Amino acid sequence: MIQTNTQQKEIAAPKQRVMHPKLRLSIRQLRGILIIPSLLIALFVWQAAVTWGDFPAFILPGPARVWQKGVDVFLDGTLLRHASVTLIEVLAGLTSGSLLATILGYWLAKYPVLEELLSPYLVAYQAIPIVALAPLLVIWFGSGIFSKILISALIVFFPVLINTVVGLRAVPINLRDLMKSMRANRWQTLRYLELPSALPVILGGLRIGATLSVIGAVVGEFVGSNRGLGYLINVGRGQYDTALVFVSVFTLIFMALSLYGFVLLLEHLFLSWRKNPSK
């Protein structure tokens, strides 16, 4: 019996194991369930350290004391008032920094000469710690909200810029040639080829920027501010109210995780075609 080429390829090609969708879903659910025991273990270790170490409250407060402090500052509006200020600074800094970085990254990717001219300045800017730069920005632009937004935008700028350049330059040349053969203009090439191809890398940089934006805003509040979670941490430190410091830090963690999760949601919405290429 003579086998066709297609049949021979089917026999020679190893069968790929495809995970059942229900099994994949159960694994995701298992990961979500494991978060709860890990949190309980962390709380137990925390409480055990407080109990066995016999630490005073101003050194290491217990989980119950921190929880009670969080409830108190939430009910009297202190936490929401300061957290809202920090959130505005973070969102404005993340948006403006990412937008400027994406625009400049596009031009750097299109014109290597421009990159050669600006790269020394960009590397020098990135080499300056934001903690050293923040006092100058507060002096120049005041202790208002604008300086915090600027610091947050500056710390977001570089990772998004680099990822934009890398993503745009990773577009296959044969696809660019295909767009030229179809007489596509620059805007059409950007919209239908470059942006979809580079979007996974750009969103990867945005993940990093989402967490860094929180750091930038808080650093600015540390340097000079009368509101925000960074200011609240300074108040707790000055009053030896360590529970207030813990509450502020946990709020910042929640804020950073929420922004990170929002970027993951954007990836799920804009990159769904990668999971279902046939659609």
Euclidean distance between CA atoms 31 and 39, whole angstroms = 13
Cα within 13 Å of Cα(37), Cβ side = 5
> Given this model, what pLDDT does residue 190 score?
78
Euclidean distance between CA atoms 241 and 65, whole angstroms = 11
Q: Which fold has domain 60-275?
A: MetI-like fold (1.10.3720)
> Given this model, what pLDDT does residue 23 score?
47
CA 24, distance to chain mean position in Å, is 26
Euclidean distance between CA atoms 13 and 8, whole angstroms = 8
Q: Is 107 left (phi over 0), alpha (psi -120 to 50) or beta?
A: alpha
> Given this model, what pLDDT does residue 95 score?
94
Residue type, 101: A
> Given this model, what pLDDT does residue 96 score?
94
Q: Give the C-alpha distances (Å, rounded to integers) separating 30 from 17, 27, 33, 264, 265.
A: 21, 5, 5, 19, 20
> Given this model, what pLDDT does residue 3 score?
45
Among candidates 62, 53, 69, 75, which has minimal Cα distance to 236? Answer: 69
Euclidean distance between CA atoms 266 and 256, whole angstroms = 15
Q: How many CB atoms lie within 10 A of CB 60?
A: 17
Return the HEC string of the chain: CCCCHHHHHHHHCCCCCCCCHHHHHHHHHHHHHHHHHHHHHHHHHHHHHHHHHCCCCCCCCCHHHHHHHHHHHHHCCHHHHHHHHHHHHHHHHHHHHHHHHHHHHHHHHHCHHHHHHHHHHHHHHHHCCHHHHHHHHHHHHCCCHHHHHHHHHHHHHHHHHHHHHHHHHCCCHHHHHHHHHCCCCHHHHHHHHHHHHHHHHHHHHHHHHHHHHHHHHHHHHHHCCCCCHHHHHHHHHHCCCHHHHHHHHHHHHHHHHHHHHHHHHHHHHHCHHHHCCCC
> Given this model, what pLDDT does residue 28 score?
56
- The dihedral through the CA atoms of 30, 33, 34, 35 has a sign that is positive
Give the list of residues 6+ apart from residue 103 with CB closer than 8 angstroms, or none.
Answer: none
> Given this model, what pLDDT does residue 53 score?
76
Taking the chain (279 residues) in runs of 10, the rounded mean pLDDT of each run is: 45 47 52 72 81 80 89 91 94 94 90 86 85 88 89 92 89 80 79 83 90 91 87 90 92 93 87 59
Domain limits, the chain: 20-54, 60-275
CB 152, CB 223: distance < 8 Å: no
> Given this model, what pLDDT does residue 267 score?
84
